[in-house]
């Protein structure tokens, strides 16, 4: 991580922990929105090249949320994407030649942390993805995926190609409740299990994960979507964790009571979402495997498992 703008020690997955060994995720530092006059300039075509860039890792579920939203809204020509290599280096996320990543020659920096220090030379914290980068002002405007979803949904609404609202007013309360219900116990729950440094913290997280998956299985045996009768932000938030579960979390994070494949309704839901190009095209199974299994603290010899073989790989015949 960075301390007063200087990169410290080797990269370590555990960000913060409490006295009982529970993993604590850091909160995001840059939380600006895109101002209305800039959106007007974007509509008027005043920028020769896209003003904003989205820096992501395909391994990262939080970053993938923002990629899916960008594709669903058809914002590709306004928000350019830059992809780091899946493996975290000793200096954090890095650009390079891994297939599907952005080579160093296409970005102004070699490591993600350099974008953080260009924005704030005294930055202290982790250099996480996703990042929304303002190319004109050469600074990060936001590094919180939930905000970036809101920016795409609300601030950039006039630029949407598809008439879609991922957080429609009538469902706002339910969406918040659903997101809240799955964040701690599932989205972050798998990380709490994987990065726990005590058996107690691991067991708590493991129980939360499977209690939530059981609840979701019951929900999807009666409902097509997470909330209401249409696709919402909650589906994106759930999808990014489900699609990584059997591939990485089940093995590496030891959340191994059941696979998603063992839940019929959740499997059918996952399969349905994978038929939507925005979900399928932003899921890179090779990055997910290579990335998670490169976390040295959890997998010291770095061997990436050959399996699993999953039914939904049929949607990726060429690239899995
Ligand atoms: N609050 C952030 C969390 C993002 C996050 O934790 N990203 C992870 C990858 S999934 C990361 O970049 N970790 C690098 C690090 O911790 O050094 C968000 O949701 O945008």
Mean pLDDT of 157-164: 94
Cα(54) to ligand 1 centroid in Å equals: 14
> Among the atoms of ligand 1, which is closest to the Cα of residue 129?
12
Is 60's C-beta closer than 6 angstroms to any atom of ligand 1?
A: yes
Mean pLDDT of 180-196: 97
- Local confidence band at 15 (pLDDT 50, 70, 90 cut-offs): low
pLDDT tens, 78-135?
Answer: 999 999 999 999 899 999 999 999 999 999 999 999 999 999 999 999 999 999 999 9
- Local confidence band at 162 (pLDDT 50, 70, 90 cut-offs): confident
Q: How far apart are CA 32 and CA 104, in angstroms?
A: 27
Length in residues, the chain: 320
CATH superfamily of 2-159: Glutaredoxin (3.40.30.10)
Is 28's C-beta closer than 6 angstroms to any atom of ligand 1?
A: yes
Evaluate whether 293 touches 303 at the Cβ level (below 8 Å).
yes
Q: Which fold has domain 169-283?
A: Glutathione S-transferase Yfyf (Class Pi); Chain A, domain 2 (1.20.1050)
> Among the atoms of ligand 1, which is closest to the Cα of residue 148?
20
| Burial class of residue 16 (count of CB atoms within 10 Å of its CB; 0-12, 13-18, 19+) | exposed
Q: Which entry of 52, 55, 58, 60 is annotated as an active-site residue?
A: 60
Do 2-159 and 169-283 have matching folds? no
Which of 13, 60, 130, 241 for mutating ligand 1's site (highest number of atoms within 8 Å of CB)?
Answer: 60
Q: How far apart are CA 73 and CA 61, in angstroms?
A: 19
Please confirm, yes or no, whether 91 is among the known catalytic residues.
Answer: no
User: For residue 14, is pLDDT > 70?
Assistant: no
Q: Where are the domains of the chain?
A: 2-159, 169-283
Is 126's C-beta closer than 6 angstroms to any atom of ligand 1?
A: yes
CA 53, chain centre distance (Å): 16
Evaluate whether 291 touches 59 at the Cβ level (below 8 Å).
yes
Question: What percent of the chain has pLDDT above 90?
Answer: 90
pLDDT tens, 49-78?
Answer: 999 999 999 999 999 999 999 999 999 999
> Among the atoms of ligand 1, which is closest to the Cα of residue 57?
9
pLDDT at 24 (0 to 100): 76
Buried-state track 46-63, b at ≥16 Cβ within 10 A, e below 16: eeeebbbbbbbbbbbbbb
Evaluate whether 60 touches 130 at the Cβ level (below 8 Å).
yes
Q: Which entry of 55, 58, 123, 191 is annotated as an active-site residue?
A: 191
Mean pLDDT of 204-221: 98
Nearest CA to ligand 1 atom 14: 128
Residue 125: closest CA among 138, 106, 109, 144 = 144
pLDDT at 318 (0 to 100): 63
Is 129's C-beta closer than 6 angstroms to any atom of ligand 1?
A: yes
Cα 241 to Cα 19, 152, 209, 236, 260: the distances in Å are 27, 21, 11, 9, 10
User: For residue 12, is pLDDT > 80?
Assistant: no
| Mean pLDDT computed over every residue of the chain | 95
> Among the atoms of ligand 1, which is closest to the Cα of residue 63?
20
């Amino acid at each position: 991580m960075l301390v007063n703008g200087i990169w410290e020690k080797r990269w370590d997955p555990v960000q913060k922990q409490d006295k009982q060994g529970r993993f604590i995720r850091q909160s995001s530092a840059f939380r600006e929105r895109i101002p209305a006059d800039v959106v007007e300039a974007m509509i008027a075509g005043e920028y020769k090249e896209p003003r904003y860039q989205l820096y992501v890792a395909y391994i990262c579920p939080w970053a993938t949320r923002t990629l899916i939203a960008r594709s669903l809204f058809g914002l590709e020509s306004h928000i350019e994407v830059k992809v780091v290599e899946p493996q975290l280096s000793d200096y954090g996320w890095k650009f390079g030649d891994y297939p599907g990543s952005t080579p160093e020659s296409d970005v102004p920096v070699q490591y993600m942390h350099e974008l953080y220090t260009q924005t704030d030379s005294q930055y202290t914290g982790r250099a996480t993805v996703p990042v929304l980068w303002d190319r004109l002002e050469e600074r990060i405007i936001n590094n919180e995926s939930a905000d970036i979803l809101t920016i795409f949904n609300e601030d950039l609404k006039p630029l949407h190609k598809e008439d879609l609202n991922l957080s429609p007013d009538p469902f706002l309360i339910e969406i918040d409740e659903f997101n809240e219900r799955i964040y701690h116990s599932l989205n972050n729950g798998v990380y709490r299990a994987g990065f726990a440094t005590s058996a107690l913290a691991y067991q708590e997280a493991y129980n939360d994960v499977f209690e939530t998956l059981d609840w979701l299985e019951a929900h999807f045996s009666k409902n097509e979507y997470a909330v209401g009768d249409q696709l919402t932000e909650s589906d994106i938030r759930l999808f990014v964790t489900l699609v990584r579960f059997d591939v990485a979390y089940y093995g590496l994070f030891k959340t191994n009571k059941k696979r998603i494949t063992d839940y019929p309704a959740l499997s059918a839901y996952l399969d349905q979402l994978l038929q939507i190009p925005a979900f399928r095209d932003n899921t890179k199974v090779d990055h997910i495997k290579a990335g998670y299994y490169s976390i040295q603290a959890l997998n010291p010899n770095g061997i990436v498992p050959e399996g699993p073989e999953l039914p939904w790989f049929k949607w990726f015949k060429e690239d899995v």
